[in-house]
Chain A
Amino acid sequence: DVKVTQSSRYLVKRTGEKVFLECVQDMDHENMFWYRQDPGLGLRLIYFSYDVKMKEKGDIPEGYSVSREKKERFSLILESASTNQTSMYLCASSFSDRAGYGYTFGSGTRLTVV
């Protein structure tokens, strides 16, 4: 089974802190994604990456950046955390040439910024 592992299930950070959310997948997927999930809004795409060192902005990239130095790891960075970034963050991965196969998701990181 493909595994997508997010390093933390719960995080509490202070306003202004730099926050790193880590995601690792073990199936050699080219594509990796970061979404945030908020009640009533569903999942919204923050950033995605289709190759090492490549990234594209999603629908809500403001206040976030990403890093992909190795194929299996995709990090989401909150440069200066704010309370409106309190949310559930979901990482996912997929094959590049199989858009019809969908994603494999991690279990999520619930981030609270105080």
Chain B
Amino acid sequence: AQSVTQLGSHVSVSEGALVLLRCNYSSSVPPYLFWYVQYPNQGLQLLLKYTTGATLVKGINGFEAEFKKSETSFHLTKPSAHMSDAAEYFCAVSDRYTGRRALTFGSGTRLQVQP
């Protein structure tokens, strides 16, 4: 079964600093990879996804993520944090070939942005 590990349940950065949220998956076959964001009292919103092709994926709100097969990683970055980026971020995977249609989520990383 797939599993997803997000290192760091809480990350705090200063406004304008680099944001780096880590995600590693366990699978010998690269899955589909997703990052979702959840603002307080809301559902999850898709930030970006990797399915095939270019390994550097750009998403909404200036976020991007790079798929590295050799490291089984899909880390999320943003060059300059904004106060509005404070939220919880979830990495998720789905099987590419087995037909299981459900996403498996990591435990989430709460991002704090300090003024």
Contacts and interface: CB of A to CB of B under 8 A. Distances in A.
Interface in B48-104: 49, 51-52, 90, 92, 94-96, 101-104
Interface size of A as a range: 20 to 34
Contact of A45 (B9, B32, B49, B102): B102
B107 A48 contact: no
B107 A99 contact: no
Chain B: interface secondary structure?
A: loop
A103 interface: yes
A51 B34 CA distance: 24
Interface string A83-94: 000000010101
Interface of B: 6, 9, 32, 34, 36, 41-46, 49, 51-52, 90, 92, 94-96, 101-108
Interface of A: 4, 9, 31, 33, 35, 40-45, 48, 50, 58, 90, 92, 94, 96, 99-103, 105-108
